Amino acid sequence: MSSSLLITHFQIYLMAPLHTELKVDDPSLIREGEFLDIFYVNRMISVGGFGQVFDAVEGCSGENVALKVESLSASIQLLASEAHCLRSLNRAHNPQEKSSFEPFIRYFGYGVVGNVRYMAMEKCGMNVRDLKKTTEFDRFSIGTSMWILYKMIDAMKTMHTLGWLHRDVKPANFCVGAHDGRSLFVLDFGMSRCFVAPNGKIKPRKPHCSFHGTLRYVSLNIHHRQDASTWDDLWSVYYVAIENMVGQLPWRNIPDKVLVSFGSMKILTEFLLVAEYKASAKLAELEYGQETHQPHCLSILSHYLTAALQKAEEYFYCPPPYQLILSEVETDLSRRNLSLQNIILDWQHSTKKETKNSAYIGDYMYHQKTTPKKKERIEAVGDCCPEPRIHHQNYAPRGNRSVYFY
């Protein structure tokens, strides 16, 4: 892309402030070895999702929990909305307060103490990003990748059915269970939004929206500042699936010389270059592990997503064909003599050393301990999406960080 074209596009984003996650070396927001409300704080275990996460113990029950903490003076504050989202999801999906009810982990509470907000939640295991790093070639086997793909689509189906968009789908926001490596939980709802009105209908499509998400995984629709829909969450799932199978996405390594040449404009030119790479990348032609072609289930998903992107206004109010795609994933597994139940996942027989504090990587989720409300049902939107024709075929340095543009 020419520099003049970049400058033209850059003018669109010139006035947009950029917000990214906390850094690992930022000072701790709370003290270790002290109580935060009824929770005894042990130590910081991760940084991400615009907050810090601590290992803690609930003072009354003695249960080990995770505390996500956010400063009251943070430039952008997401924890209150995240707590509202997870409380709503858990009341609807897990009204009987069962422990670890996939895909949402229990929520213990939310509060404000001193100069911080906190949210207490059940701890989980390693996230998908770090599980991938433990593999020999930094990629999962095709079978494990399909298992993750199925779980992620099913999690999005559940979340969307309950009226919420995630808007920051990425490997770091999906974790296996702390004691069950065959469960997958979706995490970090700071950017999530309720897209269904009280009457059960989808809220009207906005003509222009802020950028929410992680540069590496957002759809072109989000790059163009269009209102997010259920399809955009699935675009991110699609990109994650390709990365899991291939190892890296084509736009991960944007040449440094291109970025450096634009000086102080480095961040936003990167934003635009990634969009150009996504628009032109031939993802079906990548090397998918030991297989010669892109798995059939990904080809099916790609065609539906492409059709939705080309007719964004029409598809905005239409639910994706979740069950059809899930069935295709199961069929692809069956072709390889595998199933969701019998597949041995890569991390279940890995002999490579795990990362330090692996049981605490990533952010965590939760379940509200209050009288559960009756599960609310949202009116299903008719399957109005036309069927696209299926043609069968046998370095962004900050690209993995969540970004919030006004």
Query: Is 20 inside a domain boundary?
Result: no
Reported as a pLDDT band with limits 50, 70 and 90, residue 296 is very high
In sequence order, the 6+-apart residues with CB closer than 8 A to the CB of 216 are 170, 239, 249, 251, 252, 274, 396, 399, 400
Omega before 250 cis (within 30°)? no
Query: Is 177 inside a domain boundary?
Result: yes
DSSP, collapsed to helix, strand or coil, labels residue 309 as helix
CA atoms 37, 42, 43, 45: torsion sign:
negative
Residue 323 pLDDT: 98
CATH number of 283's domain: 1.10.510.10
Helices (H), 281-311: 296-310
The pLDDT mean for the chain works out to 81
pLDDT digits (tens, 9 = 90+) for 110-161: 999 999 999 999 899 999 999 999 999 999 999 999 999 999 999 999 999 9
Query: Is 56 inside a domain boundary?
Result: no
Q: Which residue range(s) make up the domain with 204?
A: 128-185+194-359+384-405
Q: What is the mean pLDDT of residues 87-101?
A: 84
CB atoms within 10 A of CB 283: 17
Please report which helix (H) or strand (E) contains residue 331, including its range. Answer: helix 322-335
Reported as a pLDDT band with limits 50, 70 and 90, residue 404 is low
Question: Looking at the predicted structure, is the pLDDT value of residue 289 above 80?
Answer: yes
Question: Looking at the predicted structure, is the pLDDT value of residue 371 above 50?
Answer: no
Residue 350 pLDDT: 57
DSSP, collapsed to helix, strand or coil, labels residue 185 as strand
Residue 386 pLDDT: 43
Q: Are 289 and 142 in contact (CB under 8 A)?
A: yes
Query: Is 166 inside a domain boundary?
Result: yes
Query: Is 160 inside a domain boundary?
Result: yes
Q: What is the dihedral of CA 284, 290, 291, 296, to 10 degrees?
A: -70
Question: Looking at the predicted structure, is the pLDDT value of residue 20 above 80?
Answer: no
Catalytic residue among 168, 232, 346, 363: 168
Residue 25 pLDDT: 65
Query: Is 36 inside a domain boundary?
Result: no
* Token pair 């036309």 in the structure block, residue: 386
pLDDT digits (tens, 9 = 90+) for 304-336: 999 999 999 999 999 999 999 999 999 999 999
The verdict on whether 130 is a catalytic residue reads no
CB atoms within 10 A of CB 124: 27
Query: Is 87 inside a domain boundary?
Result: no
pLDDT digits (tens, 9 = 90+) for 176-219: 998 889 999 999 999 999 999 999 999 999 999 988 899 999 99
DSSP 24: T
Query: Is 370 inside a domain boundary?
Result: no
- pTM score: 0.82
Please report which helix (H) or strand (E) contains residue 45, including its range. Answer: strand 39-48
Number of domains in the chain: 1
